[in-house]
Structure 1
Amino acid sequence: MATLEKIRNRAGIVIFVIGLGLVAFLLGDFLNSGGSMFRSQNMVIGEIDGTSVSYPEYQQYLTELEDYYKLNSRSSALDENTSQQLREQAWNQMVQDVIMNDKYDELGVQVTADELLELATGKNVHPQIRQMFTNPQTGQFDKAQVVNFLQQKKADPQAEFYWLFLEKQIKKERLFTKYRELIKKGMYVTNAQAKSEAEAKQVKVDFDFVVKRYATVADSAITISDSEIKDYYKKNIDNYKQEAIRDIEYVSFVVEPSEDDKKMAQEKIDRALVDFSKPEIDAVQFVKLNSEADHIDRNLKIEQIASNLQGFIATAEVNEVYGPYFENDTYKLTRLVEINQIPDSAKARHILVKDPALADSLYNLVKSGADFAAIARTNSQDPGSAVNGGDLGWFKEGAMVGPFNDACFEGKKGDIVKVETQFGTHIINIQDKGRPVTKYKLATLEQKLSYSTRTNQDVYAKAAKFAALNGTIEKFNASVKEENLIKRYGRSLKKNDRSVGNLEHSRELIRWAFKADVNDMSEIYEFGDEYVIAYLTGAKEEGSQSINVVRASIERELRNEKKAEMIIAEIKGKNQSDMTALASSLESEVQSATGIDFGAFQVPGAGVEPALVAAATATAMGEVSAPVAGNNGVYVVKVNNVEQVETSEETEKAQLKQNVTFKIDYQATEAIKKQATIVDDRSKFF
């Protein structure tokens, strides 16, 4: 376990996905996919390219990820945000495994046991393993550490799991790398391509242009038929795909402390003041037993104390109490416990060990005069300081864990002391201490203002009454207006979304929305301090948007096409050689652009207009182009200057190869994803 602890320190806290290829594969719609999977009919929560996925299979993936994360982060519990990230990653890995394993089998792509051993102990060690087994003193990879770990891991179940998980991820990355390289070898950048690209970029042009925008032509001048809309819709149906989404409207009844609750809290803090003010009462213990916030046992300089307390502290005697005062929805009492002369900083070195017997032995050695730094380098289990002989340098009071901090600031310069913390046993040598300054130790009793059970029940009763009287969407809307409530909206909710607006942990509301029918009212949900009642007001299923939904955007596209034809015909009937006259006749103006090459993304004054860039770079100097239709209007270009810029074919060829690699990393995996049928029904279970 000790070896695992060392490599874990170096590996860092990560949710493990190796390699750009795998990251690329997980981009896009996969991030919003999910699934769980029993083979039984009612517990299948996903399907990946014809393979049903059961809950136990999904849970196995998820449990491995969670266990690995917990080992790395040294935590026994996961917060909701981390749990959700791991659930997404588990599903994404399952998708990748099913789809890519078929590709690997078709092509005979494999990773042998010898390859894995080479990646662990050979000449080309995997970066993750190199990081884990790098000697902190030399900065060099230590192959002996890997061999030692592999020999000992079977005696430690956690170390065995850790390694098997790591090995599995490395194998996946290696498989994908091989697959990617096969595709790369099938892609070739020809000399003609490189030459064409170089020549296109050798020309930079300065030009004037005139534009007549589509907006200047009245929409009423254009007629779009239903048959044209239908034909366009059929030809471009892939552009109108949509995810399943839901729209809801809801009201929230917030539970807040009532006046009676405030009065009760004030009375409680007033009663506490009587005992808290007694000098014979241990203020720290009183706070630990009665306060709703943890006691912070620190000595503070006056400038570190809250500004509203500084005036009190400056003149108060020990055991005097300030308050009650109200701050951040909390009633507080603060008592001055001690006034001390304590250094603001200390310098120390330490040796950290987990074995108490070894700690005793090392403590006796350094107390008898042994070389502290040498023993720290050899034995300390704090790798960050061990390499420096245990030296921690100078640190402020409160920077270290409590017992360690107290030992350093309460001891004497030169002392060697031994203390226990949650990290193990520390043998500390206090090397130096700063100049003493006046510091104050405070004890603060906190009584948070919260609502009572009675208040909670009253608000729930109000929400229940509202729900009972408003069983239709019409009554709901009317009551919202009559009672001056605030109606909120959850728009375009997706089935795997985790929350609605700012509602705490409101996943259940989304699950309800995907089970309900339009105009259904929800039950009363409790999210944090709010009771919520919602109506489902809209539902769109996965597939293609209907022609009625996209009709306006299709009409706009078709209208612009016809406007372009009208404008081009108008321009061709005018004298195009005089740009100023042309601009005047079109009720436009002459604009200019400089230094534009074929690869330009946009043109100043025009925006993103590839057609304009193409026309400008293809027109000879001094000539005027034919009118070209762009995104926003029709353009005429006159080139004023052409500058030749040297561009290497080799450079362009290297750039094209880089672009090919980019396309393989992203577009190839995207193409595989699009070919697969992926059904994600995790939302029914999570």
Structure 2
Amino acid sequence: MSIIQQIRDKAAWLVFGVIALSLLGFLLMDAFVGRGGRGLFGGNSTTIGTVNGEKLDYVEFQKRVQMAEEQYQQSGYPMNEMMRQNVQEQVWNQFIEENVLQEQYGKLGLSVTPKELDDILFGANPPQDLRQQFTNEQGVYDANAAKAAIANLRKQKDNPLAENFNNVYLPALVDARLREKYASLLGNSYYIPKWMMEKMNADNNQMASMSFVGIPYATISDSAAEVKVSDSDIESYINKRKEEFKQEPSRSIAYVVFSAAPTAADTAATRQGLENLRNDFLASNDPAAFLTRNNSDIPYFDAYVLKSKLQVPNADTIRSLADGSVYGPYLDGGSYVLAKMIGKRSIPDSVKCRHILVSTQANTDSVAKLRIDSIAAAIKGGADFASLASKYSEDPGSKDKGGEYEFSSQQFGNLAKEFAETIFYGTTGEKKVVKTSFGYHYIEVLNQKNIELGYKVAYLSRAILPSVETENTASGAANQFSGESRSAKAFEDNITKRKLNKLIASDVKPNDVMVPGLGASRQLVRWMNEAKVGDVSEPINIDDKYVVALLTEANKEGVISAAKARPQVEFVIRNQKKAELIRKKIGNANTLEAIAAANQQTVLRSDSVRFNSPFIPNVGQEPKVIGAAFNKDNKAKISAPVAGNSGVFVIKVDNVSAMPDAGINLDEQRKAMMNQLRQMGGFRSMEALRKSAVVKDDRAKFF
């Protein structure tokens, strides 16, 4: 009965509470951010990074990561490579934010006093996990029960959960409250005056009519010498906009893959292996031992699965098997499986029961048996079950609830076998004494719901794996290619010669564990971090393939190079040069008709240009032209040439008028805008604090 034991020994409320607070921390972090161990042998330093001179030690970082991973695992999250990277990023970001925010807390005098912490734990609005665990039968939070449980936990100095409570749970509560205070201070500093809303509303209700000539950039060929874009042009452009063109350290590779995935022969061999075991499986009387002895990938589940919950391939065929019959081998994903029907019986989908536990861990077996028999006799004689449970049961998870529990059939395997069989296989109203590894239970089955046929099935499963021959063939081909491709030129030549498929992975960060197209591949990233441009790797085994890579690019932190920026900015700079040529061609012309005639264009008109929309009908998005349409100077004469998104425009404003405001409530609009600013305030402040912080990230040296 492991669930009861977890409640008993592991303080589940604390485990889930820490997870909840961690998630809350990340949510609060979002309000601000919007949006192993090689280094130990590479030098004496164990500093994994610094923020404004504050060091984070490798051991401390790993301790935080391990604790976070355990919390996620206890909550049922799979701890794969991607999840591990996410956890490491979360811990690293928390470290950065702790440091930059602590400085702000100090400047502002923000703190959480012991009295305030008590109010957080035991006041009117306790953490959700405490509220759930310590709410009484009347639905009221029992602060005294929570105090008693926490006081008891704090006495257990050698209990890891006590350490977790003091070092993780409470600091998380304090940090969450400090973030709330800081966000509140920022949010309440925003103010929009009434006159500003009135001005914005008046501007947004303006509409202009105008005549214009647009000279598209396409009238000048991209190949014209005057509009050629040099590297120096790009460098000049990005140097004026360094914030827009910052880059993190990253590296890029070209690579080829040699598959070591199972072949058709490997697949056939796996199937035949199960075929050879079919008769032995049929004859076996101990399915659990047989599966263990034959290394089944699916362990034996000694329980019945309801018809509606039997979600496996060929489920209908398996359900129709006679007891003792075997079906298969059949494919299930990347495995072949034999299914043996062990038995069928009707079972409920959910059960409500109650029990009284006398522990054999706190009492001798004979004392526990004598006490449970006395309790059973008292109840049969008319004593109140709930009262006796409250007084004598040694299961703290249920004693204050009259000993009651509700379980679904899916929890069968999490309970002690004897306990589970009693409540699921028994009948409503049945009462009996049962012994489990926890002690003696007096159990009553109160209710069973949704009874249907259940099936106990043993699955002998074998994954389809590559043979030694398949592995050796792939490994040999990769080694031969790598050995003959020790330079960039040889790498490219051999790809062409062997007609291999060259793949690209760009902008891989030093701390990444995933390479696009390859999945979890930290070993390859480590090689990339140490290699020089032009280096070719030895074969690297990643899942069911061998990879040989060529490092093609290594980008340092700072402003991106002209070559890398060219795809982003070349057309912008080219259009700037075209705009200058068009301006010169327009010259001193002072009428739209003259400009149109000189450039083989026509004079166009737009009668519904809105100040609050950058769109010109039949032209497109042109915010600069829209701005010029509401410039009073352009009503008396034609405008200066305006370099827009699609070309150069010259306009003449015919009229500007005001549209009705459609009954807009300016006070409500003002409040909505202030709320939006408050919501963005945390993000913008955190972004500014992170930008101003001096952060050094050396994690890549350790992982």
Asked whether the two chains share a fold, i.e. TM above 0.5, the reply is yes
Residue in structure 1 matched with residue 365 of structure 2 by the alignment = none
**1:478 paired to 2:493:** yes
**1:611 paired to 2:624:** yes
Query: Using the alignment, how far apart are the partners of 2:92 and 2:379 within structure 1?
Result: 54
Residue in structure 1 matched with residue 53 of structure 2 by the alignment = 50
Residue in structure 2 matched with residue 268 of structure 1 by the alignment = 273
Superposed counterparts of 1:78-117, under 5 Å:
78-117=79-118
Please point out which of 468, 479, 487 is paired with 2:483: 468
Farther off after superposition, 10-19 or 663-672: 10-19
Residue in structure 1 matched with residue 686 of structure 2 by the alignment = 669
Matched residue SS, 1:253: strand
Superposition CA RMSD, Å: 4.9
User: What is the deviation of 1:435?
Assistant: 6.8
Residue in structure 2 matched with residue 497 of structure 1 by the alignment = 512
Farther off after superposition, 154-163 or 527-536: 154-163
**1:168 paired to 2:174:** no
Letter in 1 for 2:51: I
Distance 1:647 1:261, change over 3 A: closer
User: What is the deviation of 1:493?
Assistant: 0.8
Query: Using the alignment, how far apart are the partners of 2:602 and 2:99 within structure 1?
Result: 61
Kept in 2, the 8 Å contact 1:612–1:630? The answer is yes
Superposed counterparts of 1:278-677, under 5 Å:
278=283, 281-283=285-287, 285-290=289-294, 291-296=296-301, 297-298=303-304, 301=307, 308=314, 310=316, 314=320, 317-326=322-331, 328-338=333-343, 340=344, 342=346, 345=349, 347-351=351-355, 355=359, 369-371=382-384, 390=404, 392=406, 401=414, 403=417, 406-417=421-432, 427-429=443-445, 431-432=447-448, 441-550=456-565, 553-561=568-576, 563-564=578-579, 586=601, 598=612, 600=613, 608-611=621-624, 614=627, 626=639, 629-634=643-648, 642-677=659-694
Matched residue SS, 1:647: coil
**1:246 paired to 2:251:** yes
Kept in 2, the 8 Å contact 1:373–1:389? The answer is yes
**1:197 paired to 2:203:** no
Farther off after superposition, 110-119 or 298-307: 298-307
Matched residue SS, 2:549: strand
Kept in 2, the 8 Å contact 1:37–1:57? The answer is no
**1:141 paired to 2:151:** no
Matched residue SS, 2:495: helix
Query: Using the alignment, how far apart are the partners of 1:659 and 1:422 within structure 2?
Result: 58
Query: Using the alignment, how far apart are the partners of 1:234 and 1:323 within structure 2?
Result: 67
Matched residue SS, 1:252: strand
Distance 1:96 1:479, change over 3 A: same
User: What is the deviation of 1:247?
Assistant: 1.0
User: What is the deviation of 1:496?
Assistant: 1.5
User: What is the deviation of 1:509?
Assistant: 0.7
User: What is the deviation of 1:106?
Assistant: 4.0
Kept in 1, the 8 Å contact 2:262–2:465? The answer is yes
User: What is the deviation of 1:558?
Assistant: 3.9
Residue in structure 1 matched with residue 214 of structure 2 by the alignment = 212
Kept in 1, the 8 Å contact 2:31–2:679? The answer is no
User: What is the deviation of 1:685?
Assistant: 0.7
Letter in 1 for 2:521: S
Letter in 2 for 1:431: N
Query: Using the alignment, how far apart are the partners of 1:605 and 1:399 within structure 2?
Result: 67
Cα deviations by residue, 1:91-142 (Å, 9 ceiling, x for unpaired): 222222332333333444444334333433456x564576466515344333
Cα deviations by residue, 1:532-562 (Å, 9 ceiling, x for unpaired): 2211111111111234543565553344345
Distance 1:624 1:142, change over 3 A: farther
Distance 1:543 1:341, change over 3 A: closer
Cα deviations by residue, 1:344-386 (Å, 9 ceiling, x for unpaired): 6565334486946597776666555555577779979697998
Query: Using the alignment, how far apart are the partners of 1:354 and 1:239 within structure 2?
Result: 69
Distance 1:181 1:365, change over 3 A: same
Distance 1:489 1:235, change over 3 A: closer
Query: Using the alignment, how far apart are the partners of 1:670 and 1:303 within structure 2?
Result: 48
Task: Structure 1 unaligned segments of length 5 or more: list them.
Answer: 29-33
Cα deviations by residue, 1:425-473 (Å, 9 ceiling, x for unpaired): 6934153566765x65443433433233454334323322222222222
User: What is the deviation of 1:476?
Assistant: 2.3
Matched residue SS, 1:644: coil
Distance 1:3 1:456, change over 3 A: closer
Cα deviations by residue, 1:44-79 (Å, 9 ceiling, x for unpaired): 332222334332343344355456556x6389x954
Query: Using the alignment, how far apart are the partners of 1:663 and 1:294 within structure 2?
Result: 51
Matched residue SS, 1:514: helix
Letter in 2 for 1:292: D
Letter in 1 for 2:499: N
Farther off after superposition, 301-310 or 52-61: 301-310
Residue in structure 1 matched with residue 25 of structure 2 by the alignment = 18
Kept in 2, the 8 Å contact 1:521–1:534? The answer is yes
Letter in 1 for 2:144: A
Distance 1:361 1:66, change over 3 A: farther
Kept in 1, the 8 Å contact 2:291–2:460? The answer is yes
Letter in 1 for 2:624: A
Query: Using the alignment, how far apart are the partners of 2:542 and 2:504 within structure 1?
Result: 16
Matched residue SS, 1:443: strand
Task: Structure 2 unaligned segments of length 5 or more: list them.
Answer: 1-6, 361-367
TM-score (norm 2): 0.77
Query: Using the alignment, how far apart are the partners of 2:225 and 2:250 within structure 1?
Result: 37
Query: Using the alignment, how far apart are the partners of 2:433 and 2:637 within structure 1?
Result: 88
Query: Using the alignment, how far apart are the partners of 2:389 and 2:208 within structure 1?
Result: 70
Farther off after superposition, 372-381 or 8-17: 372-381
Distance 1:189 1:323, change over 3 A: closer
How much identity, in percent, do the aligned residues show?
A: 25
Matched residue SS, 2:550: strand
Residue in structure 2 matched with residue 31 of structure 1 by the alignment = none
Letter in 2 for 1:274: N
Cα deviations by residue, 1:320-346 (Å, 9 ceiling, x for unpaired): 4444455545444344444x4525656
Query: Using the alignment, how far apart are the partners of 1:7 and 1:303 within structure 2?
Result: 29
Distance 1:97 1:441, change over 3 A: closer
TM-score (norm 1): 0.79
Query: Using the alignment, how far apart are the partners of 1:624 and 1:396 within structure 2?
Result: 83
Query: Using the alignment, how far apart are the partners of 2:477 and 2:487 within structure 1?
Result: 18
Residue in structure 1 matched with residue 3 of structure 2 by the alignment = none
Query: Using the alignment, how far apart are the partners of 1:95 and 1:646 within structure 2?
Result: 48
Letter in 2 for 1:677: V
Query: Using the alignment, how far apart are the partners of 1:492 and 1:270 within structure 2?
Result: 48
Matched residue SS, 1:631: coil
Distance 1:471 1:641, change over 3 A: same
User: What is the deviation of 1:191?
Assistant: 3.7
Letter in 2 for 1:642: M
Query: Using the alignment, how far apart are the partners of 1:653 and 1:423 within structure 2?
Result: 64
Distance 1:411 1:559, change over 3 A: same
Distance 1:554 1:287, change over 3 A: closer
Distance 1:80 1:389, change over 3 A: same
Residue in structure 2 matched with residue 681 of structure 1 by the alignment = 698
Letter in 1 for 2:503: R
Kept in 1, the 8 Å contact 2:354–2:404? The answer is yes
Kept in 2, the 8 Å contact 1:120–1:129? The answer is no
User: What is the deviation of 1:168?
Assistant: 1.5
Kept in 2, the 8 Å contact 1:344–1:397? The answer is no
Residue in structure 1 matched with residue 4 of structure 2 by the alignment = none
User: What is the deviation of 1:657?
Assistant: 2.8
Query: Using the alignment, how far apart are the partners of 2:693 and 2:337 within structure 1?
Result: 61
Kept in 2, the 8 Å contact 1:249–1:487? The answer is yes
Kept in 2, the 8 Å contact 1:229–1:551? The answer is yes
Matched residue SS, 2:198: helix
